Structure 1
Amino acid sequence: MSEEAAQAEREYRIEELAEAAGVPVRTLRYYQERRLLPPPRRRGRVAVYSQGHLERLRLISELLERGYRLDGIEELLAAWEQGRDVGELLGFEWAVTAPWSQQAETEMTMDELAGLFGDQLTPEVLDEAAELGYIEIRGDRIVHRVPRLMEATAALVAEGIPLAEILALSWELEAAFDRIAYTFVRLARRHLVDRMGDPPTPAELARLAESVERLRPVTRTVADEHFARAMDRRIRKEFTHLTPRLTAPDRSPAERRAAGRER
């Protein structure tokens, strides 16, 4: 008998299965209660598990590591039991949900961060940045999850814009871009997702994944161009208000005070 065949026929008691899968026995029992794991065969009063149970447990662990909740795992396993290819489904999921920003996290000490922001780096500011999800405080080190935003923030502070006001603006930007993202996703769902079969075929999933990949740069271009147009409009409007002040003749302090009283 080959090694693969012997492995396929291997049987486990519950403690052996838990050890092989790297999960506690109580977790294994919980999965059984939720029907994530098929019932074992019975040999007298002893529950006997197979290699299939071990593979199922490893798949559950992998899905949990990828951020799935147990409810979602139940749906995937149900699809698997109906003959769907879970690898195919996971490949589609990764293509659709892969991060849009591929920045690597960076770490700095608190002293290094203070060197950028000086006395503006208060505990309240750190807490707010952490709440926004921009940083994570790990002991005496700060992990920057979005390094480019940190660099942009440092540049704005260097120009004289208070750090606290930048963070206040960040909340507004998060909300505004969340609305924009919702609009794009709703559009894609209506015209791409809702036209697929129920359940979608592998070919439909593959086409959707390819469409999403093609639309990623297009979507960013649309957002960038609309933001650029909005900035152009706003700057022109503000500059129009500023022009009279720039072109007004110099006046003496007394004249400026008199003009102020007239207003």
Structure 2
Amino acid sequence: MPDDDTADPSATYTLAELAVASGVSERTVRYYQSERLLPRPGKKGREAVYTDEHLDRLTVVGELRDRGLTLQTIRELVASDSPTTTVSEWLGVDATLTAPWSDDRPGTLTHDQLAEQIRRFGGDRPGVIGELQAAGYLHQQPDGTWLAPSPTLLQHALRLRQAGIDVDITARVRDLLRRRLSTAVDDTVELLVERTGTGFAGGASADELETAIGALRPVAREMSSIILAQEVERALADLLRSGPTKLAGSRRR
């Protein structure tokens, strides 16, 4: 434990002052100390004395908690010999890993905007909005607007409906692809994590990881599209090779 004279008198706080400066309650400060997320305070007589180091650490811990990290993970990050560098590197990795792979983001439409979009695809009969809502392409909001979790998938559903493919069918295709692709993606991420630093991302520094992920992002999207198209071709060819009986049966279903 630090001696009485270890505190810097030019930048010190009592526990109450630290709580006010950081916006973190005294009880939480004590809890963070018990969890080894904060350095032990110095002493001035019998009173605990905190410094700007403690204030900065509370800010870092708060930011990391906002990112969803567990206290155990935060403890590992701040326990290094150079916690500032470690956290900075991790934040760089975090930004790389959480960067979007798609420009498609949830969007909100007024009723008139939604009706106009539906009309563009020839869906002016009553009931289309209800079909889209039942299929999960739309969610009505309390203020009367409509939230489209994926505006792009919404447009695809309308375009396919115009071509004679029911909204219900496109939703089932969407959900089927998502289930199967989620498994493939989980396996892919597991492989990349396993090979990070030994075949993926060089020595696995933050910069090398950013470079590797940046190169992988567009290629993975293109590979997924090509492989999906190839598999559709294969499945349709298999259906044709199976003969007219199976094809007729599939049409009756």
TM-score, normalization by structure 2: 0.71
**Separation of aligned partners in 2, 1:138 and 1:80:** 49
Matched residue, 1:96: 97
1:139 pairs with 2:142: yes
The amino acid that maps onto 1:171 is D
Instruction: Name the SS for the 1:85 alignment partner.
Output: helix
1:183 pairs with 2:191: no
The amino acid that maps onto 1:156 is L
**Separation of aligned partners in 2, 1:232 and 1:195:** 32
Structure 1 or 2: more helix by fraction: 1
User: CA RMSD, aligned part only?
Assistant: 3.7
What displacement does 1:57 show?
Answer: 1.1
Contact 2:78 2:84 in 1 (8 A): no
- Summarize the Cα distance change of 1:172–1:10 in structure 2 as closer, same or farther, 3 Å threshold: same
**Separation of aligned partners in 2, 1:16 and 1:177:** 52
Instruction: Name the SS for the 1:107 alignment partner.
Output: strand
Identity of aligned residues (%): 30
1:58 pairs with 2:59: yes
Contact 1:106 1:147 in 2 (8 A): yes
Instruction: Name the SS for the 1:79 alignment partner.
Output: coil
The amino acid that maps onto 2:63 is E
What displacement does 1:221 show?
Answer: 1.8
The aligned runs of 1:6-155 (5 Å cut-off) are 9-79=10-80, 81=82, 84-109=85-110, 112-113=113-114, 116=118, 118-122=126-130, 126=133, 129=136, 138-140=141-143, 141-155=145-159
Q: How many residues align?
A: 229
- Summarize the Cα distance change of 1:119–1:23 in structure 2 as closer, same or farther, 3 Å threshold: farther
- Which one has the largest radius of gyration? 1
Structure 2: stretches of 5+ with no match in the other structure:
1-7, 246-253
Contact 1:96 1:213 in 2 (8 A): no
Instruction: Name the SS for the 2:196 alignment partner.
Output: helix
What displacement does 1:119 show?
Answer: 2.4
Matched residue, 2:174: 170
Instruction: Name the SS for the 1:74 alignment partner.
Output: helix
- Summarize the Cα distance change of 1:20–1:146 in structure 2 as closer, same or farther, 3 Å threshold: farther
Matched residue, 1:258: none
TM-score, normalization by structure 1: 0.69
